[in-house]
Amino acid sequence: MRIRPKSLGFTIFLGMLAALPPLSIDMGLPAFPTISASLNASSGSVGLTLSLFMAGFAIAQLIFGPLSDRYGRKPILLIGCGLFALAGAACAVAPSINTLIAWRLVQGAGAGAGMVLTLATVRDLFDGAAARAQLSYVNLVMSVAPMIAPTIGGWVLVLANWRAIYGVLALAGFLLLLTVAFGLSESLAHPDLTALQPHRLFKNYTRILSNPICLGYALVNALNFGCMFAYVAGSPLVMLQVFGVSTTTYGWLFASTAFGIMVGSFLNGRLSLRGVLPSRLLIVGLVTATISAVALVIVSVSGIAQVSTLMPLLILNTFCRGIISPNAMHGAIQPVPESAGVAAAVVGFLQMLGGAVASGLVAFLYDGKTAIAMSSLMAIFAIASLAAYTVLARPAEHRLQLSK
């Protein structure tokens, strides 16, 4: 009953692991007002269920990565899925907002194992174009989550109540736990027995962060994720408040940009398998993302910003995310196969940090009248991502190739 690494089922399985964070975030969004009323909590307190989930998700990756280098991917995945399922069940029966917040932190930590070990497992089993294609298809599956999660949450809310949403997440975690236990073979051939020794752990993280190729590609991915998250955080403010679209219309608009990521991921996977160089795909994706983001700024400041003028550029920008992410992630973890868990942890942590900074800045700079804050921050992060590639990652990789 083992899932073969080169099968469609394996890709879907990895995609579902990586989709735990967006599912956990977006499914609960429609229930925020109901949770507030049910637990007699303020809107700010309910919002902490999201903030603490993301904090647990980010920090846990730095722990689970080295643990997986020492004990293997499968045991740590079992722990992560178990934590996620347990926390989901605890959230479903939480008697107070403080209890809910605490268990959401644990749930975020469990989801962090899925993300970091998806990257590490791909590094263990695939190489070169095959690895980039696999990451592309995982990204494609994962991109379905933000498209369907709010709708699923809304349906569950209609049929039952907000607690059932966390029950559904607990069930998803339990099913993934069973899949890992009975369907997944260990992918790490040679565990690092010294990976958790303090000096070794410090050396591994220092080696990743001081490697210009690993750090450069990790920054490319994180800054580009910040560009996308500026849109994720700013789009409900702009579309719902500035342009006054309905929540249903906004859902379709948001789904169209998620579909853009899917198309970009699929195209990247096909082109990678056909031998197109990752450097070529990256530069096209990064330059196009920068141009589309700068165009968003021009449209926003010129006074012609409307849904019809912004959406094509937003879809183009998120399409580029589907091309950039798999190549940048692969570039960050490829040079260090012996420490793939640590490298994946750095990639995941920096990505979440980029998203958190971008979303915080959008909320702080939003003027309540225009799309300028969202578009400007998208442009800043897009330009920074392109700079990280052209100034840091690509020159370092070129020097390494010349030295060989």
The domain that holds 54 is classified in CATH as 1.20.1250.20
In a shared domain, residues 190 and 271 = no
In the prediction, which pLDDT does 317 show?
96
In the prediction, which pLDDT does 94 show?
94
In a shared domain, residues 147 and 249 = no
Binned at pLDDT 50, 70 and 90, residue 404 comes out as low
In a shared domain, residues 129 and 47 = yes
* Tens of pLDDT, residues 345-403: 899 889 888 888 888 888 788 888 889 999 999 999 999 999 999 999 988 888 877 77
Domain boundary among 195, 223, 250: 195
In the prediction, which pLDDT does 100 show?
94
- Kindly tell me if the per-residue pLDDT of 223 is higher than 80: yes
- Kindly tell me if the per-residue pLDDT of 323 is higher than 70: yes
Distance CA 75, CA 79 (A): 6
- 311 or 28, which is more confident? 311
Q: Which domain holds residue 105?
A: 1-195
* Tens of pLDDT, residues 149-202: 777 887 888 888 889 999 999 999 999 999 999 988 888 888 888 888 888 888
Its sign, for the CA torsion 154, 158, 162, 166, is: negative
Three-state secondary structure readout of the chain? CCCCCCCHHHHHHHHHHHHHHHHHHHCCHHHHHHHHHHCCCCHHHHHHHHHHHHHHHHHHHHHHHHHHHHHCHHHHHHHHHHHHHHHHHHHHCCCCHHHHHHHHHHHHHHHHHHHHHHHHHHHHHCCHHHHHHHHHHHHHHHHHHHHHHHHHHHHHHHHCCHHHHHHHHHHHHHHHHHHHHHHCCCCCCCCCCCCCCHHHHHHHHHHHHHCHHHHHHHHHHHHHHHHHHHHHHHHHHHHHHHCCCCHHHHHHHHHHHHHHHHHHHHHHHHHHHCCCCHHHHHHHHHHHHHHHHHHHHHHHHHCCCCHHHHHHHHHHHHHHHHHHHHHHHHHHHCCCHHHHHHHHHHHHHHHHHHHHHHHHHHHHHCCCCCCHHHHHHHHHHHHHHHHHHHHHHHHHHHHHHHHC
N- to C-terminal Cα separation, the chain: 43
In the prediction, which pLDDT does 285 show?
96
In a shared domain, residues 158 and 227 = no
Q: What is the pTM of this model?
A: 0.85
Q: What percent of the chain has pLDDT over 70?
A: 100
In a shared domain, residues 113 and 208 = no
In a shared domain, residues 396 and 309 = yes
- 99 or 140, which is more confident? 99
Domain boundary among 195, 216, 248: 195
In a shared domain, residues 186 and 218 = no
State how many domains the chain has: 2
Domain boundary among 195, 211, 243: 195
In the prediction, which pLDDT does 1 show?
65
In a shared domain, residues 127 and 49 = yes
